[in-house]
Amino acid sequence: MARIKLARLRLLAAFAVLCCQAGVDTRAASEARRAGWLGLRTPHFWVIGSVPTDDLLIVASRLERFHQTLSLLFPRLGLDAGASTTVVVFPSHEAYEPFKPTYKGAATSVRGHFVAGPVANYILVTADAETLRVAYHEYVHVAIHRVLASAPAWFDEGLAEFYSTFEMTFDNRVRLGSVLPEHVLQLRERGLMPLATLIAVDRDSALYNEGDKSSVFYAQSWLFVHYLLLGQHGKFAGQLAAFAGQLIDGASLREACARALNSTPERLEEELRSYASQDSFLRQLVPLSTALTPLSGVSSSVVAEADVHATLGDILLNMSRPDAAAAELKAALAADGQSPSAHASLGLLLMAQGRNDEARAHLERAIASPAATWLTYFSFATVLMDSRSQAPLSQTATTAVEGALRRAIELNPAAPEPYGQLARLLSQDLVRLQEARQLIRHALVLAPTEEQYILVDAVIRINSREYAAARTSLTRLTRARDSDVRKEAMDLVAEIDRRLAETAGRTAEDAGLRLRDGSSVLPDRIPLFRRLLPGEQRAAGWLTALQCSENSVAFLGRAGSRAVRLEARRITDVALVNHSDAHLSVRCGQKFVNTVAVFTYTGPERPDVVTGTAIALEFPPADYVPPDVSSRQPQ
């Protein structure tokens, strides 16, 4: 697993230290009409549901208070930026059932859950006595997801349970870490699982998904985090994130305990069992530096049926439930054929299924809306670029792709995908390689381990003739996780070998030239010189004159310390190749000033003079000079 950035671990440490799918029955989702839903918008949430306004208002106001608290305590989490959060409040578990996570084809018995999306995050809850605690729990997932997209299950759920007991006091303090009696009772009745088992649980595990087993998992995750934060007077509070980071980076449980906690798994398990059996648990009151702003002036309004269907469809799409998502999105378009969000989500779904022509039609409708998101523009560009497999992009299509990607970057500068895709597009344009290089570097800053971006960077280097650097990257990618990346990396290594064989002896360096000091010429502008045939020689220097007689012509000049005199019967017998953009004429009797030339000839090799029969004269761009002289013709 990729190593977590140190900065992200520090954010998680700050968060912790403060307290010192497919296969479900889709009929219910597809057949239910989504009329009569209400919604209200707050500064940081859109809360919708088929419940009374008062229920929505309670959820919205308490979540805003919780958001403000987390933002004050952990400002570096950046909760005011990035993806928005939509909260869906169902009136009952029966209404919520079609949207619950599934395990082995059946809905799990959760009371709420969090769905991460590239444009919006979603929290789904039911309107009951546990609504607020579940909402707090799920919003902690939103916060953690901002700095760690794939947190270990015990860490993610343990922190979420810990903060779910959030309470405000009347003196502008918050109470955190209150005991959860049901968890303590569960663990005392069932006993604790081995710590190694807890750490190994992932989101596909039965312990995470099945009935009362999940209760034991949640209970022990809460207890473990509670102990590491508050146990033994906060002895381990500063090491929680470091401990999690060690495990994420591939350390064994024993190694992580030793390095981060100066302990052993056996000792930690014994302390955790003792902690579970104690009569009382610490909690902490944390003063806030700023008074919280109460929610005011917010009223509910009716949510259009198409918008409800589109929202639920996008949730199901992000849960990898394509059939159920399609049913909701088609219902949205049946209610409103112009719904931009439904067109956008349906376009994404069809694109994922490889149905690009159909996806393009929906995405074109979506980007016509002022409400189009960065993901919609990015997906539209991706669909157009994928058409390259059938035929090259037209200039019109290329312009459309570039415009869509630049709009995606404008709407979300923190998303690496548009930078990477635009770099991929420009990597084939030799005139714009430097621009492509800047874009892919930006993408790699945002996502340094993304194999597709490393691959694009290698392509840019190949097209810039930086073969050694490209080969280094590609050699690593031949062991990539993605089989398509591995194959393309191997194909590109073969392409480097082919190009090297084709250009051997033909580069500016081979011709005896170097770039003038301070030149800004791009590597892709290096010309390919004439390939030497058997018996031919080459010298780089300065052409000074062309002398003509009745039976011959002579090219005069200098190559380093050697004089140049090469002859031919006629000028037309010599290949004259101008690699420069500047106009150049060659005629009898002409004198040349500061004219760099590469002479190809046959004749004896002599240390004092370049003499023999002229075969070719090639004139490089103005930025190139012979390596052993100044940038001007010697006198």
Q: Are 83 and 190 in the same domain?
A: yes
> Looking at the domain assignment, is residue 368 inside a domain?
no
Res 203: pLDDT: 86
The DSSP secondary structure of 275-294, one letter per residue, reads HHT-S----EEEE-SSPPPP
Same domain, 36 and 127: yes
* Domain end among 269, 287, 305: 287
Closest to 595 (Cα-Cα) out of 574, 615, 617: 617
Phi-psi region of 633 (alpha: psi -120 to 50; beta: other; left: phi over 0): beta
| pLDDT tens profile 488-534 | 999 999 999 988 887 778 878 888 888 887 776 655 456 788 888 89
Query: Which tokens in the block code for residue 161?
Result: 């349970």
- On whether both 180 and 245 belong to a single domain, the answer is yes
Q: Check: CB of residue 258 under 8 Å from CB of residue 264.
A: yes
Q: Residue 27: its pLDDT value, please?
A: 40
| pLDDT range class, residue 30, cuts 50, 70, 90 | very low
Most confident among 103-117, 174-188, 205-219, 617-631 (mean pLDDT): 174-188
Residue 24 has a pLDDT of 36
Q: Do 223 and 187 fall into the same domain?
A: yes
> Which band of pLDDT confidence, cut at 50, 70 and 90, is reported for residue 133?
very high
pLDDT tens-digit map of 454-478: 999 999 999 887 888 899 999 999 9
With respect to residue 166, please indicate whether it lies within any of the assigned structural domains.
yes
Q: Do 265 and 177 share a domain, yes or no?
A: yes
53-69: per-residue pLDDT in tens? Answer: 999 999 999 999 999 99
Instruction: Work out how many domains the chain is built from and give that number.
Output: 3
Q: Look at residues 243, 267, 287 and tell me which one is the last residue of a structural domain.
A: 287
DSSP code of 313?
H
Q: Is residue 518 part of a domain?
A: no
> Quick one: pLDDT at residue 293?
86
CATH of the domain at 597: 2.40.50
**What is the DSSP code string of 482-522?**
SHHHHHHHHHHHHHHHHHHHHHTT-STTTTT-EEPTT----
Q: What percent of the chain has pLDDT over 70?
A: 91
Least confident of 242-246, 527-531, 602-606: 527-531
DSSP class of residue 549 equals -
Q: Are residues 499 and 537 in the same domain?
A: no
Q: Can you spell out the DSSP letters for 236-253?
A: TGGGHHHHHHHHHTT--H
Do 484 and 580 have their domain in common?
A: no
Instruction: Note whether residue 512 is domain-resident.
Output: no
Q: Cα–Cα distance between 90 and 322 in angstroms, integer?
A: 21
**Residues 289/24, Cβ–Cβ less than 8 Å:** no
The arithmetic mean of pLDDT across residues 390-414, rounded, is 88
Same domain for 430 and 477: yes
- Higher pLDDT among residues 139 and 292, named by residue: 139
| Residue 377 counted as domain residue | no
Residue 19 has pLDDT above 50, yes or no: no
- Selected residue with higher pLDDT from 85 and 29: 85
> Which of the listed ranges 126-130, 431-435, 476-480, 599-603 does the model predict with the highest average pLDDT?
599-603
On whether residue 579 sits in a domain, the answer given is yes
pLDDT at 98 over 70: yes
- pTM of the predicted protein model: 0.70
Q: With a cut of 50, say whether residue 26 has pLDDT above it.
A: no
Per-residue confidence band for 25, with pLDDT thresholds at 50, 70 and 90: very low
Spell 328-355 as b/e; 16+ CB within 10 A means b.
bbebbbebbeebbbbbbbbbbbbbeeee
Q: In this structure, is residue 407 part of a structural domain?
A: yes
* Position with higher pLDDT, 150 vs 432: 432
Mean pLDDT of 261-269: 95
Please report whether residue 414 resides in a domain: yes
Average pLDDT, the chain: 87
**Segment 573-590, tens digit of pLDDT:** 999 988 887 777 888 899
Asked if residues 24 and 288 have their Cβ atoms less than 8 Å apart, the reply is: no
Average pLDDT of span 89-101: 94
Q: Is residue 159 located within the same domain as residue 53?
A: yes
> Angle at which helices 211-234 and 181-190 pack, to 10 degrees?
110
Q: What is the pLDDT of residue 479?
A: 86
Mean pLDDT of the 195-219 span: 87
Residues 139 and 201 grouped into a single domain: yes
- Determine the pLDDT at residue 631: 46
The answer to whether residue 152 scores a pLDDT higher than 50 is: yes
Chain centroid, CA 141 distance in Å? 20
Domain end marker among 467, 488, 504: 504
Q: Is the model's pLDDT at 9 over the cut of 80?
A: no
Which residue range is the domain that position 148 belongs to? Answer: 6-287
pLDDT of 8 above 90 = no
